[in-house]
Each structure stands twice: as structure tokens, then as C-alpha cells.
Amino acid sequence: GNTNTRPREYVTALEAAEASGRPVRFLPHMRGDELGIRLEGGGGADDDDDDAEDFLAPVDLETLLHRSIKRLVETGRYVPSRAIGEAVVRCDQLAMNARAEMR
């Protein structure tokens, strides 16, 4: 999966999903309890009380940088560290703004 935090980053995916008739799920990188919300029915597709599968676990900057280096070693491809850092900041800001709007 990708961390798509700007509309231009996910428009293509949404268009492809629409063309193929496949559903799109947006998964926050924080759980509902961390955001201060509770999704009805647990938020899961199976409607149980465990909504952990509907949220991505937060990953710190150091881990993301290590993953990018590992990818470079294994495939010759990587995500620039500046792009990783900027995405982390955007994700944190999105979560903070979501919390503020829910209050």
C-alpha cells in the first residue's frame, strides 16, 4: 500500500477502481481510539468489536527510512528520505486536524 496524503496521489487509484468496479477503502494510520472516535459496529467489515484491521499501525520515521534503505539494497529502488519525512509530517497534521474537527 501507499501513503497517499494528497489528492493528486490517489486520483489515479480512484479512477482505476471506478473503471473496474472495485471498492476503495481508506485506512487511517491511527486507530479510532487514538483519534478519539468509535466507529459503529466496530468499524470492521465483519462488524465485530475489533476495529484494528480498519486502521494501519503508526510507523516511526526511523523504521520508514530503514525500509527504504532495505528496498534500495534489495531492488535498487527507494523512496527519498525527504519525501518520507514530508509524508510523516502530512500524516501527523491530518490526524491532528481530524481530532480538532471532531471536537
Q: What is the pLDDT of residues 22-31, one digit of tens each?
A: 988 777 666 6
The confidence score (pLDDT) of residue 42 equals 45
Task: Write the pLDDT tens digit of every residue in 78-98.
Answer: 999 999 999 889 888 887 887
Residue 2 belongs to some domain of the structure: no
pLDDT band for position 63 (50/70/90)? very high
Cα 33 to its chain centre, rounded Å, is: 16
pLDDT at residue 61 above 90? yes
pTM: 0.61
Q: Is residue 93 a part of any domain in this protein?
A: yes
- Per the structure, the count of domains in the chain is 1
- Whether 78 and 69 have beta carbons less than 8 Å apart is answered as yes
Question: Long-range contacts of range 2-6, CB-CB < 8 Å, 24 or more positions apart?
Answer: 3/29, 3/87, 3/91, 5/87, 5/90, 5/91, 5/94, 6/90
**Structural domain range at position 65:** 7-102
